Chains A and B, each alone.
Chain A
Amino acid sequence: MLVIENLQARVDAEDGDGREILKGVSLEVPAGEVHAIMGPNGCGKSTLSYVLSGREGYEITGGTMRFDGEDLAEMEPEERAATGVFLSFQYPVEIPGVPTLTFIKEALNAQKRLRGEEEVPAPAFMKLAREAAAQLGISNDMLKRPVNVGFSGGEKKRMEIFQALMLQPKFLILDETDSGLDIDALKVVADGVNALRNEERGMLVITHYQRLLDYLKPDVVHVMAAGRIQETGGPELAHKLEKEGYDKYAGEAA
């Protein structure tokens, strides 16, 4: 489903002298699997999520990233979204003046138009929204408020998963979705993510800590350091990292 081969990318710098962040990342997430990427701060985890989703400010200097056989690098961010790639942001952005439900409806229908599908009728959309909101403990009031405006960190993360439930993407990238969550909120969010798990959907869970993985139970865990995948293993690797830390990979960062 998602195939990344020897991906190299640098961050654009004003002086034109960009810094290489991804130095040859290779991994493959087949449909139906949940992969975790763990690693120390600054190892390139978040950069990988931005490069995959098409944020400006990064230059791909080598390698490939394909989703269902299509070259993501050739696509605009909205085309990547329409093809099914959803990024749950580490820091969801506030958008004053645009009510949450209006925003999601516009986004869903824009994706459907790009895919050549029929738009969702308003009653069906509202029904979906009510169900997803109930599942995540999101109030009607929150849905009417402008996107993320005045929400707590935990509410913003819940709202990201709410949007994923509404948009039903083929692939989720969760960037530090556990940061800023207390243990109750973490469980609600994890339940929401687990509800999205199925045979056709892949997920890439980027995290610094193992606690989210206790709920999500990934199939594969990758350790990233110094812009590369350093080690790949089963869920036991996450536990090992929790005990031993990332020191072992510190030498690679030099």
Chain B
Amino acid sequence: MTAALKLTDMETALIDQLPQDAPLRALLSEQGLPHRRVEDWKWTDLRTVVGKLPAEPGVLTFTISREPDAWAEQDEEPGLLMPRLASALGEDIQVYTLEDGERLELGVEATKGFAHQQVLILVPEGVKAELVENYAVEADGFANLTLVIVVMPGAQLDRVIEQHASPDAALVVTSLIDLAPKARLNQTTLGFGAKLARLETHVSHAGEGAELQLDGAYVLDEGLHLDQTSLVRHEGPNGVTKELFKGAAIKGAKGVFQGKIHVEQAAQKTDAQMQHRGLLLDDKAEIDAKPELEIYADDVVCAHGNAFGALDEDALFYMRQRGLPETKARALLTQSFLAEPIERIRDDDDRERLMARLMAMLEAL
């Protein structure tokens, strides 16, 4: 028996909004929001951070390149707590069915207070489309979003996510992705963190020629926290996953990378690679990483790597000796360290835009 949890004002406010008979209500009362003693959240104490934010409803503003095709009610409740909350407390699900060649732009801004929403993106068979997301949360906001994305057989989705620095706010975006046989998803995130931000991606990977590229770059200024957690589950044979995350943090910032690739017994001939590289720009910077492979098939090629480093002082002096100011030299070196995931973005404009944003952030550090 565990002692009864003393609920935070935020938790009480969320519970009050749930129907009396909802199982989620009991669950939240009993366990609270995810916190550091929950293994999957051990470096990201959501409960403590949002417990200090105003426990009042806020507003989510969507800036979208077009209207949703439909608004739907939840028919199957998600398993994870945060998507369950998004589903239970958000408005009806926004549904987008992408057309071939379409570029859907989805901007999300949140104001003070808590707000939840679920979005469903369908990429029909054979369709090739782009999804570009932007997240920004104002001071004292707590936004919880869930995107359910279904990439159907032979379809391709290029997904680019920008998460703007939100120093006094919390953001949780959970992506639940279905990748069908012969489908392809290229996802790249550029994140600058928040008081607490968690970008969590789950992919059910059908294999059978399906390919996933899951990339991310992050730069964290003082006081900012960004957690990028992913779970890729290979369920069928002949699937490919390439994961590359690179990030930099200065003192007082905290980066978290949790990456897991799970290969089921049926997923023979899986080719899965996962890399994370962290750059500590100060002695007191923190980046926590947990890369994991869990493999039940015997004929696979899987690898993961994780490394940390600091800026090369010799290179810094060399650049300054040629006349570059120290801030510029640091920014250039850090950019060159972080560039690779961004360079893998296929769309020229998106790639250049994110690279410019990255450089601007680095020069402002």
Contact = CB atoms under 8 A, between A and B. Distances in A.
Interface stretch (B123-131, B162-170, B318-326): B318-326
B314 interface: yes
7 contacts: A76-B320, A80-B321, A82-B323, A93-B314, A97-B335, A103-B332, A110-B328
A95 B323 contact: no
- Pairs of residues from A and B, 4 with the lowest C-beta to C-beta distance, nearest first: A97-B336, A111-B323, A107-B322, A81-B323
B318 A93 contact: yes
Q: Which of A89, A97, A167 has the most CB of B within 10 A?
A: A97
A95 B318 contact: yes
A94 B319 CA distance: 10
B322 A93 contact: no
A77 interface: yes
B333 interface: yes
Contact of A167 (B322, B325, B328, B335): B322
A87 interface: yes
B175 to A, nearest CB: 29
Interface of A: 53-56, 76-78, 80-82, 86-87, 89, 92-98, 103-104, 106-108, 110-111, 114, 146, 163, 167
B320 A95 contact: no
A56 B324 CA distance: 16
A76 B314 CA distance: 15
B361 interface: no
Contact of B337 (A94, A97, A111): A97
Given A81-B320, A167-B322, A96 B313 contact: no
A7 B335 CA distance: 38
B337 A114 contact: no
A46 to B, nearest CB: 13
Interface of B: 312-315, 317-326, 328, 332-333, 335-337, 339
Given A76-B326, A97-B335, A106-B328, A92 B318 contact: yes
Contacts of A76: 320, 326
Nearest to A146: B336
A106 B335 contact: no
Contacts of B323: 78, 81-82, 107-108, 110-111, 114, 167
Contacts of A80: 321
Given A103-B322, A106-B332, A108-B323, A55 B317 contact: yes
A86 B321 CA distance: 7
A167 B323 CA distance: 9
Contacts of A111: 323
A70 to B, nearest CB: 16
Nearest to B320: A77
A108 B322 CA distance: 8
Contact of B321 (A81, A104, A114): A81
Contacts of B314: 93
Given A76-B326, A81-B321, A93-B314, 11 more contacts: A77-B320, A81-B322, A81-B323, A86-B321, A92-B318, A93-B312, A95-B332, A97-B337, A98-B332, A103-B319, A107-B322
B319 A107 contact: yes
B83 to A, nearest CB: 38
B336 A98 contact: yes
Given A93-B312, A96-B336, A97-B337, A107 B324 contact: yes
Contacts of A167: 322-323
Contacts of A89: 318, 321
A55 B321 CA distance: 8
B294 to A, nearest CB: 33
Nearest to B332: A98
Contacts of B333: 95, 98
A87 B321 contact: yes
Contacts of A56: 313, 317
A36 B64 CA distance: 68
Contacts of B326: 76, 78
Q: Which of B312, B313, B320, B339 has the most CB of A within 10 A?
A: B320
Given A97-B335, A97-B339, A77 B321 contact: yes
A77 B317 contact: yes
Q: Which of B319, B325, B333 has the most CB of A within 10 A?
A: B319
B156 to A, nearest CB: 28
A78 B336 contact: no
Q: Which of A56, A77, A87 has the most CB of B within 10 A?
A: A77
A114 B324 CA distance: 10
Q: Which of B317, B323, B328 has the most CB of A within 10 A?
A: B323
B183 to A, nearest CB: 32
Contacts of B336: 95-98, 146
Nearest to B333: A95
Contacts of B320: 54, 76-78, 81
B321 A110 contact: no
Contacts of B313: 56
A52 to B, nearest CB: 10
Nearest to B339: A97
A22 to B, nearest CB: 18
B324 A95 contact: no
A78 B325 CA distance: 6
B244 to A, nearest CB: 15
B201 to A, nearest CB: 26
A92 B325 CA distance: 19
